Amino acid sequence: MAGERLDKVLAGSLPDYSRNRLKTWVEAGAVMVDGKVTKARYLLRGGESVKVFPQEMPEQFAFSPENIPLDVVYEDDAILVINKPPGLVVHPAAGNWSGTLLNGLLFRYPELQSLPRAGIVHRLDKDTSGLMVVARTAQAQTSLVRQLQDRSVGRRYLAWVWGEAPSQGKVLASVGRDQRDRLKMAAGSPQGKPAATLFRRLAKGSFNDATLALLECRLETGRTHQIRVHLESLGYPLLGDPVYRKKTPGAAKTLPFERQALHAFALSLQHPVSNELVSWFRLPPEDLMSLLPQVDMTESDLPQEAIVLASIHNERTHD
């Protein structure tokens, strides 16, 4: 092995582990050559003692229960409805192997361990808040997935956008991976999937002479970043969006809001067991409610059913 790089020697000697994992161990100081931590590109001279101390990888904790507070709006034996706060990742993935909604669900409902993705059937972006449904049984999960595929699940969002948005409209544009930036999605992508978003304007506002609007958006499909991508393609980027912000006015730099202003306020579906049409509504979290007066809007600009039904729920909860 004299003259060989350390990472190559490790890969040949420990074939049960990926090169990437071995490199991670070297960088973490878990590989020692003659008792010293070194670099992956280190050239062996021959005769050295190489010791490897296997490390647990973050993804090993992806499906571990964690005591994460959950705002459970509704639960029965078949389904859960969660009001997800901004900042909470829904499902473990690279960069977020723990501290997710899935980890919290497994802690509070251990039986979900037996279901694919712990019963999660759809997602919200990390910094998007609002309502999500989770299945508690295999039967319910199958029903919910079919409803999503049939586009019969009603999902309505509140979106605060920059620009002079029209009173209503519909966006029909495929959504797929951006070929120039793999971390983004793009509207009109040739490799994308069909996507449709309907919207209507609920109110107009302004901030530092820049025009903005509050929109209610309805999803006919559920593509990754769909609302954010579709509205940006029309020239109406969401307030606070760190990724999709073309045509964002200079006033945005002085607005103290640092996540996309998007909240899933309404959810409706056919109950998997009773077949009854059921609906839930939730007002936006405090950060979005505090935003209203800053952009010349009031709570009365929000959909009335969200205000009334959310208030009724709060009264029942306090009782």
Q: Are 159 and 125 in contact (CB under 8 A)?
A: no
Helix 6-13 crosses helix 19-27 at what angle (to 10 degrees)? Answer: 130
Q: Is 7 a catalytic residue?
A: no
* HEC string for the chain: CCCCEHHHHHHHHCCCCCHHHHHHHHHCCCEEECCEECCCCCECCCCCCEEECCCCCHHHHCCCCCCCCCCEEEECCCEEEEEECCCCCCCCECCECCCCHHHHHHHHCHHHHHCHHHHECCCCCCCCEEEEEEECCHHHHHHHHHHHHCCCCEEEEEEEEECCCCCEEEEECCEEECCCCCCCEEECCCCCECCEEEEEEEEEEEECCEEEEEEEEEECCCCCCHHHHHHHHCCCCECCCCCCCCCCCHHHHHCCCCCCCEEEEEEEEECCCCCCEEEEECCCCHHHHHHHHHCCCCHHHCCHHHHHHHHHHHHHHHC
Count of beta carbons in the 10 Å neighbourhood of residue 23: 17
Catalytic residue among 125, 127, 241, 287: 125
Tell me which residues are annotated as active site: 125
